[in-house]
Amino acid sequence: MGREELSLQPSFPSGYQDSRLKRFCTRNIVIILGFSCLMAVIALIAVGLTQNQSLPQNVKYGIVLDAGSSHTTLYIYMWPAEKENDTGVVTQIGECMVQGPGISKFAHKIHELNSYLSDCMQKAKELIPLAQHRQTPVYLGATAGMRLLRLENEYLADEVLDELTEILRGFPFDFQGARIISGKEEGAYGWITINYLLGKFTKKLRWLYPLGNESNSEETYGALDLGGASTQITFVLRNQTIESPDNALYFRLYGKDYNVYTNSFLCYGKDQALLKKLIKDSQVSNGTISDPCFNRGYSRIMNISDLTSSPCTKKDKPTLPFPKLQIHGTGNYQQCQKLVLKLFDNSDCPYSHCAFDKIFLPLPQPDEHFGAFSAYYYVMNFLNLTSDESLTQEEITDAMEKFCSQPWKDLKIHFGNVKEKYLSEYCFSGTYIITLLQGGYHFTPDFWKNIHFMEEIRHTDVGWTLGYMLNLTNMIPAEQPVSSPLPHSTYVSLMVLFSLILVAVIFIGLLIFHKPSYFQKDRV
């Protein structure tokens, strides 16, 4: 009997083999598309990170020492190696007040200068990267205190500068020299500082105006600087000629030329002006004077030799029979102003318009604005006269009358933390500032609203040192910018290519999942 053989092969439904093949192909396509998508994303990220990686900061550093008549201050500046319109964009990154008096006071004890600058120079070493030390220039500029010492004894002035040169060469920086800058330079560099910080030279300084609030006005500010031994006035002339060539300076900054008037009045800083006034007063006294420029109840005894040791007072050659001068304060602003006004010689003027002492001074325009800094600010700020709101001349006069009339004992109670020397001289200093502007520069009462007392602008000190550094950067060649890893055209091409690949992969993937019939052929 025949037995029917049973097949051991599995039985598959119709079309099963084709279905397996389709799933296999679909899975491979998805894997390929997923891999391609991942690689495209990785390529985009890699190219973007490579091109936009942080480049080495290509910056320069500089140090300027402001050696004034009463103290020395060190300023540290930084600017990019690439320049804007041939002038570097400089910012202040640090400052340090040197402990001790001005360098002119070391004329007879130069051995004490050895440790004078050490603390502040150490601070500079810490702020500036070690790799940049040897390339960082250091400049020391001495102002009116050393100008007076040079007039008195040129040999001693040279000794002080020589000693400072040897000291500064011992630090790991690129020392460029110590010199006495002229009054014209001091005034002009202060003018540069103010207008640079106010954005008057260029409308787009990225570092200074990140929020786009730069000044839109192209008119520059004038500069009023007052120190202990000298005072400066500087501003640009509009449609006027400078009748005295000694008062003319020319600058080119950020691609533009400037014709600047400037003058420095040596011996008319507030400290020297006080000595000059006291000498005049002592000549009509018997050794005791009642001084309205000091508050009532204040007294001081001064050696006549201290009054006559300055070159600013020696020319008066007083012959006084007493060795000391005793001062008693009476505190009267109006009387003080009359005495101060005698310091300014407003006689014959050889020009169309003069300041005092026969010095040419063009009349500023009615809309001319001035920034007043250094002692202008410190004195008027103490007297609470630096408000952002414009004060009238009458309001300023009333405030001065009130302050000068206060008894000395009351001032010491209210301002016990202020050094007695400074506190005692605020009545004179405030009166002197007002009289200098009115009787010296002949500013009208309406012009007071155009005077702005300044200490800092955008966290940077107002003074001549920043302007000095800005001018010096014109002589520092711009370096080649650090280039990006890829040329711009290559970078754009690669980004477009990988973006297109990514879009194509995503598009194909969507077609597979939503319309698989586009990639599958039915069996017949």
**Active site residue ranges:** 186
Nearest one of 209, 236, 246, 221 to 362, comparing CA atoms: 236
143 close to 179: Cβ distance less than 8 angstroms: no
Which residue type is seen at 37? C
Nearest one of 49, 75, 50 to 62, comparing CA atoms: 75
Between CA 16 and CA 20 the distance in angstroms is 6
CA dihedral 174, 177, 183, 186 (to 10 degrees): 0
CA dihedral 431, 432, 434, 435 (to 10 degrees): 110
Collapsing DSSP to helix, strand or coil, 330 comes out as coil
Q: Provide long-range contacts, Cβ within 8 A and 24+ apart, for 479-485.
A: 479/58, 479/81, 479/82, 481/58, 481/81, 481/82, 482/55, 482/56, 482/58, 484/51, 484/55, 485/50, 485/51, 485/53
Between CA 370 and CA 392 the distance in angstroms is 15
233 close to 197: Cβ distance less than 8 angstroms: no
**Entry field: residues in the chain:** 524
- DSSP code string of 202-244: -S--TTT-TTS------PPPEEEEE-SSEEEEEEE-SS---S-
What residues contact 521, with CB distance under 8 A and at least 6 apart?
none
63 close to 76: Cβ distance less than 8 angstroms: yes
Burial of 416 (0-12, 13-18, 19+ CB in 10 A): exposed
